[in-house]
A = this chain, B = another copy of it.
Amino acid sequence: MKIKILKPLLVKIFKKYGLSTNHAFISANALINAELVGAYGHGLSRIKMYCDRIRKKVINPKPKIKIKKISQSISYIDANNSIGFVAAEIGINKAIENAKKTGIGLVAVKNSGHYGLSGYYAEKAVKENLISMIYTNAPPAVAPHGALKSLFGTNPICFGAPTGKKIPFILDTSISMINRGKIRVAARNNQKIPEGVALDKFGKPTTDAKKALQGIQLPMASFRGSGLAWMVDILSGVLTGGNHAGRVKDPFDDFSGPQNIGHLFITFKTNLFVKNYNKRIKDNIKTIKRLPKIKGIKEIMYPGQNKYKRFIVNSKKEIKISEIVRKDLEILKN
């Protein structure tokens, strides 16, 4: 489907479900961006879920979002259970505004929901020539180190930096080793999963996808990844007033209440300390790209580069709509 047809359709659907025109556009743009960068799990496959949550009154389509000024640099946003895209857009914009004014911005958001890709918001900061660090938590997906039950979300760590060139440096990495959907597919196809990504229900390492589904998923890098996930839970949940310690509800399965996800946005100027940041970052990237490469590697890529290339390629094409999504859209628009 062409973007110029898809976008008005998404806006129409979101408006039908009660969102303002502005909020509908914000949400449609975020979903389309996820499709364009190839993050399909954060794209159109979620629109039905968002609409279901609005219908079941666990997303508030007409939120009264409160922005509290803590200082010139620091703001606190109560998103009043808005759709996550809107809360995050307001959050990053406030963090950008604060950083432009004072050099650094720190913005906490509570009572939000799933906002899609952290990197999408980091890109907005890069466009304003700012560095950003973005944290959000998520429903239970991986077990803390030593535990036999999932509690931490995939809790991404996101960092964005201008590169002095058009493709930004956007690190946006989940702390889980593998997403659950991939394990489900492997189980269905009787395929093995990689070592070190899951334990069986007794807590023993397994490469058997079926046993993994009955067991737990592991964070990346063992106790290190578990620690990073815990850090993200503190930064985005404990600190902000959002849910934490495994209490963020699964948006697809649990309609018993709003998610109350928390987000934390940290932004700062690139030229606070050095006046030639752009020259320095270009030199940094160029130096690393010139390293001898492992056989078969054509180019050493910095985080965000692949995603940007996918975005450019996909932007010139129509967006592929799966049969399931087509049906969702059909039902939702009427």
Chain B residues contacting A292 (CB-CB under 8 Å) are: 147-149
1/0 per residue, CB under 8 A from B, across A166-185: the answer is 00010101000100000000
Q: How many copies does the complex hold?
A: 2
Q: Which of A2-10, A11-19, A233-241, A326-334 has 4 or more CB atoms under 8 Å from chain B?
A: A233-241
- Nearest CB of chain B from residue A178's CB, rounded to whole Å: 11
* Cβ–Cβ contact B291 & A144, under 8 A: yes
Q: How many residues of A contact B (CB 8 A)?
A: 75
* Cβ–Cβ contact B131 & A103, under 8 A: no
Name the residue of chain B whose CB is nearest to the CB of A169.
B234
| Given known A-B contacts A147-B291, A151-B288, A295-B202, A220 and B224 have beta carbons under 8 A apart | yes
1/0 per residue, CB under 8 A from B, across A131-157: the answer is 101000000000111111101000001
Name the residue of chain B whose CB is nearest to the CB of A225.
B221
* Cβ–Cβ contact A231 & B171, under 8 A: yes
Contact of A145 among B241, B284, B300 (CB under 8 A): B300
Tell me which of A228, A234, A283 has the highest count of chain B C-beta atoms within 10 A of its own C-beta.
Answer: A234
1/0 per residue, CB under 8 A from B, across A266-281: the answer is 1010101110010011
* Cβ–Cβ contact B144 & A288, under 8 A: yes
Chain B residues contacting A210 (CB-CB under 8 Å) are: none
Name the residue of chain B whose CB is nearest to the CB of A220.
B221
* Cβ–Cβ contact A238 & B281, under 8 A: yes
* Cβ–Cβ contact A245 & B70, under 8 A: no
Chain B residues contacting A71 (CB-CB under 8 Å) are: 102-104
| Given known A-B contacts A102-B73, A103-B73, A233-B284, A274 and B144 have beta carbons under 8 A apart | no
- Nearest CB of chain B from residue A283's CB, rounded to whole Å: 7
Chain B residues contacting A301 (CB-CB under 8 Å) are: 145-146
Tell me which of A110, A235, A291 has the highest count of chain B C-beta atoms within 10 A of its own C-beta.
Answer: A291
A161 lies within 8 A of chain B by Cβ: yes
Name the residue of chain B whose CB is nearest to the CB of A291.
B147
* Cβ–Cβ contact A291 & B148, under 8 A: yes
| Given known A-B contacts A71-B103, A293-B148, A303-B227, A234 and B281 have beta carbons under 8 A apart | yes
Chain B residues contacting A294 (CB-CB under 8 Å) are: 146-148, 199, 203
Name the residue of chain B whose CB is nearest to the CB of A244.
B284
Chain B residues contacting A303 (CB-CB under 8 Å) are: 223, 227, 230-231
* Cβ–Cβ contact A272 & B70, under 8 A: yes
The 10 nearest A-B residue pairs measured at CB: A203-B294, A220-B221, A245-B287, A147-B291, A227-B303, A146-B297, A171-B227, A108-B273, A146-B300, A173-B224
Which residues does A use to contact B, with CB under 8 Å? 70-71, 73-74, 76, 102-104, 106, 108, 110, 131, 133, 143-149, 151, 157, 159, 161, 169, 171, 173, 177, 199, 202-203, 220-221, 223-225, 227-228, 230-231, 233-235, 237-241, 244-246, 266, 268, 270, 272-274, 277, 280-281, 283-284, 287-288, 291-295, 297, 299-303
- In the complex, besides A227-B303, A239-B270, 10 extra interface pairs with C-beta distance below 8 angstroms are A70-B272, A73-B103, A76-B272, A108-B272, A147-B291, A147-B293, A148-B292, A159-B231, A169-B230, A173-B227
